[in-house]
Amino acid sequence: MIHRRILVAAALATPFAARAQEIGSAQRPLRIGVTAGPHAQVMEKVREIAARDGLALRIVEFSDFIQPNAALAAGDLDANSYQHQPFLDQQVRDRRLPLVSVAKTLVFPMGVYSRRHRNLAAIPAGGRIAIPNDPTNGGRALVLLAAHGAFRLRDGADFRATIADVTDNPRRLRIVELEAAQLPRALDEVEAAAINSNFALQAGLNPVRDSIAIESAESPYANLIAVRQQDRDAPWVRRLVAAYQTQEVKEFLQATFQGAVVPAF
């Protein structure tokens, strides 16, 4: 009889133990990767909102664009929130990562900044302009610079453009490719730099106020929440998206970033 009671107690305890370890519980928080700066700030707000629904988040910060996807694919994260669709698509192709987008989050308009000039036209012949060295953001920067008259790109060039696609560069401007996170620190060494707004804001640069050229409000580079393919329909994904895509987050963006970061939902 004693042994039977022990077995029954163990059987009853197992479902409760399993539920306690469900993803998003206090015992097993949802692990979500972000880049330091605005993405982390916004996710802190999302964590506050999600907690009201009983969804626990653990925020993991990264300082580059590559590791959050590698960690997600490896199972060290459950989701990440830091990249736009063209970048994710490139990563999936190049690194064969089993990742998918499940929701849009923010738009960070890319801007061009300079400590020496008030516009791109003032940059002298032979001047150096720094851009991100990853394929999608580098191409995005080239399109932005071309749109504001720095040079011309071949017909049909888009975010996949490279320096080889520059077809008309009368001032012989030199393009310098650097890691995206390093660009704000390079401003003293170049005539100008095209900087992703999450890194610009982190460095105290406001895209609306401080840039000498900026993407239009119709930028196609909406950031997103990514998960592994196997998790795309998981209940916790819907709860995370619901916590993010709220009026409260929209109000937080406006109050915190004053138009430099805008919602994409």
So what's the pLDDT on residue 136?
A: 85
Specify the pLDDT at position 217.
Answer: 65
* Whole-angstrom distance, CA of residue 5 vs CA of residue 226: 46
Single out the residue of 77, 80, 89, 78 nearest to residue 39, CA to CA. Answer: 80
Q: Write phi, then psi, for 221 (nearest 5 degrees).
A: -95, 55
pLDDT at 39: 95
Which of the two residues, 33 and 197, has the higher pLDDT score?
Answer: 33
Q: 22-108+221-263 and 111-214 share one CATH topology? A: yes
Tell me the mean pLDDT in the region 27-51: 97
The CATH number of 111-214, from 3.40.190.10, 2.40.50.1070, 3.20.20.80, 3.40.250.10, is 3.40.190.10
Write the pLDDT tens digit of every residue in 58-83.
Answer: 999 999 999 999 999 999 999 999 99
Decide if 261 contacts 107 (C-beta within 8 A). yes
What average pLDDT does range 40-56 have in this prediction? Answer: 98
Parse the chain into domains and list their residue ranges: 22-108+221-263, 111-214
Cα separation, 243 vs 168, in Å, equals: 47
Token pair 């995206």 is at which residue? Answer: 180
What pLDDT does 15 receive? 45
Distance between CA atoms of residues 110 and 260, nearest Å = 10
Task: Provide the mean pLDDT of the chain.
Answer: 91
Between 14-18, 28-32, 117-121, 229-233, the lowest mean confidence (pLDDT) is in: 14-18
The percentage of residues in the chain with a pLDDT greater than 90, rounded to a whole number, is: 82
In total, the chain counts a number of residues equal to 265
The half-sphere exposure of 92 on its side-chain side, counting CA atoms within 13 A, is 15
**Tens digit of pLDDT for each residue in 143-196?**
999 999 999 999 999 888 999 999 999 999 999 999 999 999 999 999 999 999
Mean pLDDT over residues 97-123, rounded?
Answer: 96
Which pLDDT value is given to residue 6? Answer: 36
Span 22-108+221-263: which CATH code?
A: 3.40.190.10
| DSSP bridge partners of 195 | 111
